Amino acid sequence: MKPIKVGLLGIGTVGSGTFNVLKRNQEEIMRRAGRRIEIAMVADLNTERAKELTNGECEIVNDANLVVTHPDIDIVVELIGGYGIAKDLVMKAIANGKHVVTANKALLATHGTEIFRAAQDKGVMVAFEAAVAGGVPIIKALREGLTANRIEWIAGIINGTTNFILSEMREKGIDFDVVLKEAQRLGYAEADPTFDIEGIDAAHKATIMSAIAFGVPVQFDKAYVEGITKLQATDIRYAEQLGYRIKLLGIAKRTPNGIELRVHPTLIPAKRLIANVEGAMNAVLVQGDAVGATLYYGKGAGSEPTASAVIADLVDITRLATADPNHRVPHLAFQPDAMTDTPILPMSEVTTSYYLRMLVADQPGVLADITRILADSTISIDAMLQKEPAEGETSTDIIILTHQTQEKYIEAAISKMEGLATVKGKVTKIRLEQLS
């Protein structure tokens, strides 16, 4: 049987990893796929570098359009990134009857519905395991392994940069700005780390997972996104004292009123396995009604870990290339005509627990005023920590953990607290999830 011919768009970190792993493990991969998989063309603006990386073993071009329209190419692997030219090339590849493999979470989170519809109409596949959590096979688990389950919720540490920063803040007790500079020096953070530290990258991935878990369109524009830039080492330390750790979580949760889709710093009980995921590692916790909780852990980025996911997609497409399109696994796990329009809840209607920290005057009646405000808002207290003021100080921190309540109620209560003469400055609020 003739080999499957692959066209690679971009041979940077992931592209070179894909080329190397495919070459190194070619025989093993062929035994699994049933056919040889060959990278026949590579498009990259730096053609000299591309020739060095491929040792002249395939055709090198500087125009990606030559790849997506070439009659001999069966699968196009898009590793360019971004929303612009990448979308045009993916759509052109589909229009030309090519299957597509992509690691581009930003593209799929914003234009996935359009791309999957075009692929469905053309009878080709779009595979994207590498778009979420790098080498961790979470997409396959959600699409196939857990297909018997009604997924209740997903909570994931899905950005290695922010997890590295939070791990360093906790271990060394230093603030965000200092750790970010160290992360950039070590190569864990980009020169412009905005997409990572502001939670956008994690929100792209959470959006994709929510669509697969609940059978809804990808709706990145409706996700709530909050990064880690305002986190202080003080709060990480207090959380630790209360038995919690703070992680940037991507959360997708089914509720009676709609779907919660949110990314934000979150307190997690330290005894949970996912709370102990440190450094640049990723982990995704999935709660299904039949299987219970399952945890997926591994490297979320890097040349060969991400290449592992890209090649797994190439093998899947190779196995199914000649299958009836109606008998393939749907792109978003659910049959296209069975998708629902379940609403994504606004953040004000999300229900969770909260960590509150406030600097208050050290005088009688302060705590009574604060607890009265919470009681009037029907918010109950789960735990509280009141620090003794330092010698010579006239104010101190009060830390409160609440039971579950809606975001709009906690916001109203915080507004009243900040109006008290005895509360100094803003109240720090961090959401809390038990993940049980």
pLDDT in tens, 310-322: 999 999 999 987 7
Cα 102 to Cα 86: distance, rounded to the nearest angstrom: 10
Do residues 105 and 163 share a domain? no
Q: What is the mean pLDDT of the chain?
A: 95
Q: Give the lowest-confidence range in 183-187, 260-264, 305-309.
A: 183-187
Same domain for 12 and 149, yes or no, is no
Find the CATH number of the domain harbouring 258: 3.30.360.10
In a domain, 384, yes or no: yes
pLDDT band at 412 (very low <50, low <70, confident <90, very high): very high
User: Same structural domain for residues 83 and 19?
Assistant: yes
- Domain identity same for 238 and 360: no
pLDDT at 388 over 90: no
The pLDDT assigned to 200 comes to: 97
Return the pLDDT at 321: 78
240 and 287 fall within a common domain: yes
Kindly tell me if the per-residue pLDDT of 21 is higher than 90: yes
pLDDT tens-digit map of 93-148: 999 999 999 999 999 999 999 999 999 999 999 999 999 999 999 999 999 999 99
Number of domains composing the chain = 3
Strand partners, 77: 8, 101
Tell me the C-alpha distance between 301 and 319, whole Å.
26
Expressed as residue numbers, the domain containing 211 is: 138-298
Is the model's pLDDT at 273 over the cut of 80?
yes
Lowest mean pLDDT among 158-162, 322-326, 367-371: 322-326
Residue 403 belongs to a domain: yes
Q: Is residue 19 domain-shared with residue 107, that is, in the same domain?
A: yes
Whether residue 346 is contained in a domain is answered as: no
pLDDT value of position 22: 96
According to the model, what pLDDT value does residue 294 have? 98
Q: Give per-residue pLDDT as tens, 361-387.
A: 988 899 999 999 999 999 999 999 988
Residues 144 and 168 grouped into a single domain: yes
Answer whether 209's CB lies under 8 Å from 142's CB. Answer: yes
Query: Could you tell me if residue 175 is inside a domain?
Result: yes
Same structural domain, 175 and 286: yes
Q: Is residue 345 part of a domain?
A: no
Catalytic: 92? Answer: no
pLDDT at 371: 96
Mean pLDDT computed over 255-282: 97
Of the listed 87, 98, 105, 205, which one is catalytic? 205
User: Are both 334 and 424 inside the same structural domain?
Assistant: no
CATH code (residue 334): 3.40.50.720
> Which parts of 105-199 fold into alpha helices (H)?
105-122, 138-140, 160-172, 176-186, 194-197
Residues 258 and 162 occupy one common structural domain: yes
pLDDT beyond 90 at 325: no
Per-residue pLDDT tens over the stretch 326-336 = 788 999 999 99
The residue-averaged pLDDT of 168-172 equals: 95
77-94 pLDDT, tens per residue?
Answer: 999 999 889 999 999 999
Residues 193 and 325 in one domain: no
pLDDT beyond 90 at 344: yes
* 77 and 106 co-located in one domain: yes
φ and ψ of 216, to 5 deg: -125, 160
Q: What is the pLDDT of residue 253?
A: 98
Domain-located, residue 394:
yes
Query: Kind of pairing, strands 151-157 and 281-288?
Result: antiparallel
What Rg do the C-alpha atoms of the chain give, in angstroms?
A: 24
- Return the pLDDT at 408: 98
- Domain membership of residue 107 (yes or no) is yes
